[in-house]
Chains A and B, each alone.
Chain A
Amino acid sequence: MKESLQQRLEILADAAKYDASCASSGTAKRNAKAGGIGSTEGMGICHSYAPDGRCISLLKILLTNHCIFDCHYCINRKSSNVRRARFTPQEVADLTITFYRRNYIEGLFLSSGIVKSGDHTMEQIIEAARILREEHLFRGYIHLKMIPEADADLIARAGLYADRVSINVELPTQAGLTRLAPDKSGQQIETAMGGLKTAIEDATDSRKRFRSAPQFAPAGQSTQMIVGADGASDAQIIQKSSKLYDRFALRRVYYSAFSPIPDASAVLPLKRAPLIREHRLYQSDWLMRFYGYEPHEVGQAADAAGMLPLDIDPKLAWALNFRDRFPMDVNRASRDALLRVPGLGVRAVDALLVARRHRHLRLADIAKLTVSIAKIRPFIVAADWRPTKLTDRADLRRLLTPRRTEQLELFAA
């Protein structure tokens, strides 16, 4: 019996929700003034939020959750007992437009289980995007998942319709991939990512010379790693991310804390990885991309087993391990030095650098530029402030560790 559109949407959205990426930002600006429907701005828009705190920006679905692969961590693996369903490319395109017209979404994020072959699956994904762009004249955002096993020509075609393309590396180590995703090849994944990087760069390059040159995935490529399904440490994950950023010019690496799935494979850990671990990895990612930390320096914030502390953020952990570098004088220290002060963000540091041309900064001035002065105080010198012994106190870590607050009962009776 064929399920209704609504039932299939439930199955295929449920199957897609383990992919953390939902960004709709960083693409070329477009609008519908010359016809069609849809627009993109530099900044993405989150049209709703689910109670898991994740933003809902794109219609994130699978074309089908039938899959010939048997990856243990995946709810759609061949041996899983989930209900199966499929959409036609036409149905996906129509559903996207129906939602878009009501301002529910920014666009489409389409992925799929592997049916028949990588090529066949890729062709179906491309067809949905083609209908949207060429028949509906859709100008909104499209994120397409690439199938690394598919032919390079198909991947090249997908990039012409998509704003963003992504291939998931899935697991941070080759050993993890071998054990949990026996049908996937790390080599093949990286080759495909390398191909995307070249295609994106070539397109950017030709558009500099010819404005009419076709765009290829103007919002670049991203990837995702599952955290906590194998034994990889935070330090290993950070090293892997850093390599991926360098080698494939990725826009983003997403981290997805492994969470229990219905009908899980016995090989997997049962309990979810703590969500806070995922958060600490995103913070380390930020430290590398915006705060000038080298991967090995982020590693210095971790313990002997390579794990970042969960109770404090990695920047504070690093500062506590290198107290001799502090305090920093907010009136004299360089931008790079100030970026190392726990509690000072990029915006605060930039505001502080300009403000100090106008006044000799006091503690009260810093307080106006930041969220919490208490966290910053032990690490800075201001016109009227010197932490004296505070920086060296043995219990500093305890003083700065945020107290756990009980989660508010939102809908308590």
Chain B
Amino acid sequence: MKETVYFTASEHVAVLAGPDDFDGWRTQARQVLMARVHPSEVIWRVPGGEGDLFASSEPSPPPIAVPDARQPIVSRAFLDLAAKAACHRDRGRFDFLYRLLWRLQRNARLLEDKADGDVRRLDELARTVRRDIHKMRAFVRFRSVAQPDGTERYVAWFEPEHHILRANAAFFVNRFAGMHWSILTPIGALHWDGASLQEGPPATRGDAPDGDPIEDLWSSYYASIFNPARLKIDAMLKEMPRKYWKNMPETALVPALIAGAQAREAVMVEAGRDLFEDDSPPTSLEEIAGAIRSCRRCAIGCNGTDAVGSEGSSGASLMIVGEQPGDVEEREGRPFVGPAGQLLMRHLEEAGLNRSRAYVTNAVKHFKFLPRGKRRMHQTPTAREIDTCRWWLDGERSIVKPRLVLVLGASAARGLLGKTISVQKERGAPIDLPDGSELWVTTHPSYLLRLPEENRPAEEKRFQDDLRAIAERLAALESAAG
């Protein structure tokens, strides 16, 4: 908008020292006010400032106060707001402030009238400047520059919207008093050497360093603290408008984070879906034996191995649950026939428990392994995989209805309980299950096989003791049931 400016010799020209010279305004405003110079007759000049239309006019001599002039009095609240408003980019701010000061002399409580247009404008100007000050404190990013003497200097490039550089100096001095730093802006610069603050001329982006290795670390943090399940782009933009982004290293990641967010959430939801939501519980062991062969609900089921089912009758009072079939079991299609299975059988016999009278199965029905050359190395199933396969184990339990369930190791225990327990803490005493049966926990026989030779006898003895206690308990349960 082009303005036509008229001014006459009768107008008072007040010249300020700079675009944020609130103190200069205050002194001269007091003088012109005491000389009763009407707001329409004062021209406020900011030398070199944008829109300095009166660059050719000389400052007027200080006006002479009218004979009965009193010192003008304004509230602290007005001064605070005006000092902020004076930093605004708005060209007419000093005229406006003087007009409001003039009105305040006639109505000292004018500021209370928040519905008044001028009062609202003052609030609005001050609010905008406060926000700009706050955003500068938030979004300045220092980059470290190694100095020849081995110390570090921290340099930032920032583009404030209003004349707030000086107003913010104290904040940065108080916070970073022990560092050497510079803040470079298009309207001037601040330099702190640990003891004193220097002002410098306007700078350009090229004067500031163009990177800092720590920014990679910071960007990783930014990406990791973001929760893709709760995308709220508007909320981010409201507080961090895009005009600030170019000087903040982490914002380069924003587009990719947003683009990936929905996909990441969908994967998480899909991974957590109830995989059996459309199925009804199995009603016979034959049905389970058939269904597990084609179950592809987890990665183990999809690894191309054959499922290994259970052995034993549906009327067994003892159910023994292992972790998952191993290499030998998968090839032969029977549970507990590998080295660990043989060890278990030996101990069962010794404890007086007959395998043929027990129902033997695994918490996970397929063999999870890592190929290592020609060998297939056992891999522990994840909690999620065990929880998925629990559908089949629950089905088996509801059909077999054992009085006592013996689980071998933590994975098998999870298959029964749905939570991870400590085998060493729980072994040797029964855990009551909701269906009235008892759960007993001991170690997995493969644990015994992995032990160093010298520790094995002691652990095998504990294993045997556990089995004997179970045999005794089973006999008591069976005789009680008749």
Contact = CB atoms under 8 A, between A and B. Distances in A.
B274 interface: yes
Contacts of B418: 266-267
Contacts of B447: none
A18 B254 CA distance: 19
B226 interface: yes
Given A32-B176, A37-B179, A259-B227, A103 B142 contact: yes
Contacts of B224: 9-11, 13-14, 17
B482 to A, nearest CB: 37
Contact of B144 (A39, A48, A101): A101
A51 to B, nearest CB: 5
Nearest to A369: B114
Contacts of B382: 81, 263
A408 B234 CA distance: 8
A53 B228 CA distance: 11
Contacts of B221: 9-10, 13, 59, 99
Nearest to A260: B268
B269 A260 contact: yes
A182 interface: yes
A16 B225 contact: yes
Contacts of A272: 229-230, 265
Nearest to A139: B175
Interface stretch (A217-225, A333-341, A355-363, A393-401): A355-363
B177 A52 contact: no
A49 interface: yes
A43 B138 CA distance: 12
Given A102-B142, A411-B259, A50 B218 contact: no
Interface in A48-71: 48-56, 59-60, 70
B115 A49 contact: no
B387 interface: yes
A48 B135 CA distance: 10
Contacts, number: 215
Given A60-B225, A355-B115, A101 B274 contact: no
Contacts of B140: 103
Given A17-B226, A260-B268, A361 B115 contact: yes
A104 to B, nearest CB: 5
Contacts of B239: 46, 49, 55
A103 B274 CA distance: 45
Nearest to A55: B239
A309 interface: no
B112 A355 contact: yes
Interface residues of B, number: 75
B112 A104 contact: no
A364 to B, nearest CB: 8
A1 interface: no
B232 interface: yes
A264 B225 contact: no
Interface string A16-32: 11100000000000011
Nearest to A34: B177
A404 B443 CA distance: 58
A182 B177 CA distance: 49
B261 to A, nearest CB: 7
Contacts of A358: 109, 112-113, 115-116
Contacts of B222: 48, 50, 56
A257 B230 contact: yes
B145 to A, nearest CB: 12
B272 interface: yes
Given A18-B227, A102-B214, A368-B120, A51 B175 contact: no
B420 A354 contact: no
A6 interface: yes
B225 A411 contact: no
A257 B233 CA distance: 17
A261 interface: yes
Interface string B166-189: 000001011111110000000000
B257 interface: yes
B139 interface: yes
A365 interface: yes
Contact of A359 (B113, B254, B261, B274): B113
B138 A46 contact: yes
Chain B interface, >50% SS class: helix
Given A78-B420, A260-B268, A408-B233, A101 B179 contact: yes
A390 interface: no
A252 B46 CA distance: 47
Contacts of A55: 239
B401 interface: no
A55 B134 CA distance: 14
Most chain B beta-carbon contacts within 10 A, residue among A50, A104, A265, A270: A50
A354 B225 contact: no
Which among A17, A49, A357 has the highest number of chain B CB atoms within 10 Å? A49
Given A53-B236, A365-B115, A369-B115, A102 B141 contact: yes
A100 B96 CA distance: 40
B156 interface: yes
A70 B383 CA distance: 12
A236 interface: no
B331 to A, nearest CB: 28
Nearest to B251: A48
A354 B111 CA distance: 9
Nearest to A261: B268
Contact of A51 (B156, B176, B232): B232
A18 B226 CA distance: 10
A32 B177 contact: yes
A45 interface: yes
Contacts of B2: none
A352 to B, nearest CB: 7
Contacts of B251: 48
Given A52-B227, A101-B179, A275-B230, A264 B272 contact: yes
Contacts of A365: 115
What 10 pairs across the A-B complex have the smallest Cβ distances? A53-B235, A53-B232, A31-B174, A259-B229, A13-B224, A351-B114, A365-B115, A79-B383, A50-B226, A358-B113
12 contacts: A9-B221, A35-B177, A37-B179, A50-B236, A81-B384, A95-B217, A99-B218, A260-B265, A266-B384, A270-B269, A272-B265, A359-B113
Interface of B: 109, 112-116, 120, 134, 137-144, 154, 156, 171, 173-179, 212, 214, 216-218, 220-237, 239-240, 248, 250-251, 254-255, 257-259, 261, 265, 268-269, 271-274, 382-384, 387, 414, 418-420
